[in-house]
């Protein structure tokens, strides 16, 4: 706990963040248990590791050591104890072979031997499984894990304890515990990955993988309980047989039991170092599964395999968060600058290429949609609004004017003599006359006006009535007529023919309900201008018309 607090930047004496007194009390109890379990006559290798343990205590108390340092020291101590177990157990068996032993002592000695072997295989099995879970199929790692699993199964079979013994109860508890089932299933999954019969862990449900690793804590603790129970059985058998078996076997048995008790402390620390990062990974996997890609990164700690897993998971979560940002930006605004930021990682590179293609497709679709809209609403020759789009816009403006209590003006503009131009000089000249008229309308109308080609040589301008009333309306219409008069088309032999137009003027009132009614009124006025001699302006009422700025 102290090492973890130091890694997280928490002051171990900060009572607001952790229960410092409880942590210190638990640590004192653990140290007492380890000190009581120390072998008085430990070998030189174990003695060196115990000295490193004492130095670690000082570093922890002084705030100089973190969880990684704790893991490293206990990993070395675990290895030294395993070697010491092997040597001491061999000596016990040698002594037992030289002296007559009861069946109970030999049975318990065999249970100790194979329980220790099963326990010692736990760490290598987990580490090799992690390699396959992280790195995918690898022949050497797969063969090693299969071999370790076979050796573990054989050790469990050979460790069959006597009926009614503590070891029997411990093995039964191990076999029936759900966490053991989950952990063994995770180890089996690692074998399947190695054999190519299961996808790599990145394609599995990450929460299940993390759960399997987290359950490894209890799996390891149950194994230590098995070994401890077997050692206690042997010690009790040795006590019962002490009078006949002699002190050697009893003392050696007690030594083995002492070493086994020390291994419990090692197993606890090793399991905690594995379980905490695995739980962090499991919790993070659940958050990602729920769609939370913006949560804090998984703390990178614990054994090297889990640190690598944490780094890989953080990279994956960062990629998913960036993909989500890109997807939202692509849906809302294909021009969002965030789409220019490359996605991280190798997977991100592939996804970035897909998003770039989608972005291009969106732009192309938008351009195509705009082109289709332009074709559907604008005249192909002049670029002005076509009849359908114009009537929609006029109806919208007319409804707004009626709500606001204002009025609209409508100019119906018709070219004079277009049929003669077409018949005499061809439709190309006629089309040029239509284009020139459209240009004149663009230069003289207002931004608020609806300007459209209704068809043939007929144009429409509809907009709000200016504040100056009829005089300003008349001046506006005259500017349009004059602008058209300044246009001309080129005939044969570079001759130029000036253009002329007739304009009908109408105003909306409270009774004007439809765009068609307003346009029809202006059309009728335009015909009046035609009948009056063309090249002039006419109103729907007797208001004086103007031609060239003067009364008609």
- Counts of helices then strands in the chain (DSSP H, E): 20, 9
Angle at 180 between CA 175 and CA 184, to 5 degrees: 110
- Confidence at residue 485, expressed as pLDDT on a 0 to 100 scale: 94
* Nearest C-alpha neighbor of 192 from the set 204, 180, 181: 204
Tokens at 208, concatenated: 């299940």
* Nearest C-alpha neighbor of 539 from the set 485, 503, 500: 503
* Residue 308 C-alpha from the chain's centroid: 20
Tokens at 53, concatenated: 């343990």
* Residue 518 C-alpha from the chain's centroid: 57
Angle at 386 between CA 384 and CA 389, to 5 degrees: 110
How far apart CA 477 and CA 474 sit, in angstroms, is 5
**In which residue are the tokens 């008790």 written?**
261
DSSP, residue by residue, 204-258 = S-HHHHHHHHHTHHHHHHHHHHHHHHHHHHHHHHHHHTHHHH-HHHHHHHHHHHH
Give the length of the chain.
552
Radius of gyration of the chain (CA): 46
Look up residue 378 and give its DSSP letter: B
End-to-end CA distance of the chain: 104
* Residue 330 C-alpha from the chain's centroid: 15
Give the CA diameter of the chain. 146
- Topology of 387-551 in CATH? Alpha-Beta Plaits (3.30.70)
How far apart CA 391 and CA 368 sit, in angstroms, is 24
- Confidence at residue 484, expressed as pLDDT on a 0 to 100 scale: 95
- Confidence at residue 182, expressed as pLDDT on a 0 to 100 scale: 81
Predicted structure pTM score? 0.40
How far apart CA 486 and CA 311 sit, in angstroms, is 76
3 state SS of 159 = coil
Tell me the Ramachandran region of residue 383: left when phi exceeds 0, alpha when psi lies from -120 to 50, beta otherwise.
Answer: left
Could you give the residue ranges of the DSSP H alpha helices within 38-66?
44-61
Mean pLDDT split into 10-residue runs, the chain, 552 residues? 47 51 61 59 63 76 67 67 69 63 71 80 77 75 88 86 84 85 82 79 57 63 79 75 54 56 53 59 64 66 62 69 73 76 70 75 74 78 92 93 92 93 88 94 94 94 92 95 94 86 93 90 94 93 40 32
Look up residue 128 and give its DSSP letter: H
Tokens at 396, concatenated: 């919208």
Tokens at 275, concatenated: 């379980």
Name 231's Cβ contacts closer than 8 Å, sequence gap at least 6. Answer: 112, 253, 256, 257, 260, 261
Could you give the residue ranges of the DSSP H alpha helices within 163-205?
166-176, 178-194
Domain residue ranges in the chain = 71-289, 304-375, 387-551
- Confidence at residue 18, expressed as pLDDT on a 0 to 100 scale: 47
3 state SS of 115 = helix
How far apart CA 519 and CA 506 sit, in angstroms, is 8
- Confidence at residue 268, expressed as pLDDT on a 0 to 100 scale: 52
- Confidence at residue 55, expressed as pLDDT on a 0 to 100 scale: 81
């Amino acid at each position: 706990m102290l090492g973890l607090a130091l890694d997280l930047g928490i002051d171990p004496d900060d009572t607001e963040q952790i229960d410092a007194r409880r942590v210190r009390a638990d640590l004192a109890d653990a140290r007492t248990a380890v000190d009581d379990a120390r072998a008085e006559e430990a070998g030189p290798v174990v003695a060196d590791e115990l000295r490193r343990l004492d130095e670690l205590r000082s570093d922890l108390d002084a705030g100089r050591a973190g969880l990684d340092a704790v893991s490293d020291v206990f990993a070395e101590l675990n290895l030294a104890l395993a070697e010491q177990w092997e040597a001491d157990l061999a000596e016990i068996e040698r002594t037992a072979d030289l002296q007559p032993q009861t069946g109970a002592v030999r049975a318990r000695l065999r249970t100790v031997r194979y329980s220790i072997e099963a326990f010692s295989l736990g760490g290598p099995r987990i580490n090799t499984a992690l390699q396959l879970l992280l790195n995918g199929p690898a022949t050497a790692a797969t063969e090693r894990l299969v071999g370790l699993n076979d050796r573990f199964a054989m050790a469990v079979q050979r460790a069959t304890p006597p009926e009614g013994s503590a070891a029997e109860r411990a093995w039964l508890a191990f076999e029936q515990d759900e966490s053991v089932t989950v952990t063994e299933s995770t180890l089996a999954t690692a074998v399947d990955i190695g054999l190519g019969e299961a996808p790599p862990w990145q394609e599995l449900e990450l929460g299940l993988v993390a759960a399997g690793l987290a359950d490894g804590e209890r799996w390891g603790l149950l194994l230590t309980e098995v070994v401890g129970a077997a050692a206690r059985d042997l010690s009790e058998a040795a006590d019962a047989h002490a009078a006949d078996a002699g002190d050697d076997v009893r003392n050696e048995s007690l030594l083995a039991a002492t070493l086994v008790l020390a291994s419990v402390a090692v197993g606890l620390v090793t399991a905690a170092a594995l379980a905490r990062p695995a739980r962090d990974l499991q919790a993070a996997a659940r958050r990602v599964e729920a769609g939370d890609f913006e949560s804090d990164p998984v703390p990178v700690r614990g054994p090297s395999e889990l640190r690598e897993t944490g780094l890989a998971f953080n990279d994956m979560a960062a990629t998913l968060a960036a993909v989500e940002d890109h997807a939202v930006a692509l849906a809302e605004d294909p021009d969002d600058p965030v789409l220019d930021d490359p996605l991280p990682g190798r997977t991100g590179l592939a996804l970035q290429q897909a998003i770039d293609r989608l972005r291009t497709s969106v732009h192309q679709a938008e351009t195509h949609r705009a082109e289709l809209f332009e074709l559907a609403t604008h005249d192909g020759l002049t670029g002005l609004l076509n009849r359908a789009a114009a009537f929609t816009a006029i109806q919208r403006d007319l409804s707004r004017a009626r709500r606001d209590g204002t009025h609209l003006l409508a100019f119906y503009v018709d070219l004079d003599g277009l049929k003669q131009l077409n018949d005499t000089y061809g439709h190309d000249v006629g089309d040029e006359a239509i284009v020139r008229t459209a240009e004149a309308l663009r230069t003289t109308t207002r931004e608020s006006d609806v300007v459209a080609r209704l068809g043939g040589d007929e144009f429409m301008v509809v907009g709000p009535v200016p504040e100056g009333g009829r005089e300003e309306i008349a001046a506006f219409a005259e500017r349009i007529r004059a602008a058209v008069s300044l246009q001309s088309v080129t005939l044969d032999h570079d001759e130029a023919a000036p253009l002329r137009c007739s304009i009908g003027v109408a105003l909306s009132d409270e009774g004007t309900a439809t765009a068609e009614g307003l346009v029809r009124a202006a059309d009728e006025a335009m015909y009046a201008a035609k009948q009056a001699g063309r090249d002039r302006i006419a109103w729907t009422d007797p208001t004086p018309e103007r031609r060239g700025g003067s009364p008609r």
